[in-house]
Structure 1
């Protein structure tokens, strides 16, 4: 649990302390894990799935409406954070997986956008 005393930390610590009493013994290893639900190492990757969902939602968007720069930057951060998640201690495999999905969905979007742009160059005016 967090050692800080701010109002959000108090709420978080209270919630974790209350929940701790009800976690069954079979789930204790996950609950007590250094990258488990008591830490940011669990919640950050969970929240980052929103980027993956947004990327999947953008697959129905017309290719001309995609930003190559934005998609490329998101893909790059996905690759960088995937690498980082495997060198930190504790290794954070959930962060690795979500960032690989972020990178792959955004690389797909970059490919769609570039394919569209190159197809415009091939058309005679």
Structure 2
């Protein structure tokens, strides 16, 4: 076994690492990653399916929790990363929603046909 692998193994199975993996500072953000994963997968779906108010709410939600993740002690960078990814995905969805409803006018075309 190489020294680097042995050191990593000792770190991975140390009391501090195991305590972190068994805490809500780890499992909360891990379970919360379903939101940004779903948002990223939804970027390929039809823009008619996007809810503007919900997307706006999720943009604000992620901004608040990005700030919260850095305000708690100890700082929760995993939670920050989760909400950072969600923020980017929701901003993409919001841009698609604005483009679909206000820029291209596809909603008006469907109503007249």
Which TM-score applies when normalising by structure 2? 0.78
Between the two proteins, the alignment pairs up a number of residues equal to 98
5+ long unaligned stretches in structure 2: 1-8
Q: Tell me what 1:85 maps to.
A: 69
Deviations 1:18-68 (A, max 9, x none): xxxxxx532114223xxx112111001001111111101111111121001
Cα RMSD (Å) of the superposition? 1.8
Runs of 4+ in 1 over 3 A off after TM superposition: none
Q: Which has the higher contact order (CA 8 A, sep 6+)?
A: 2
Q: Distance in 2 between matches of 1:26 and 1:81?
A: 29
Which TM-score applies when normalising by structure 1? 0.71
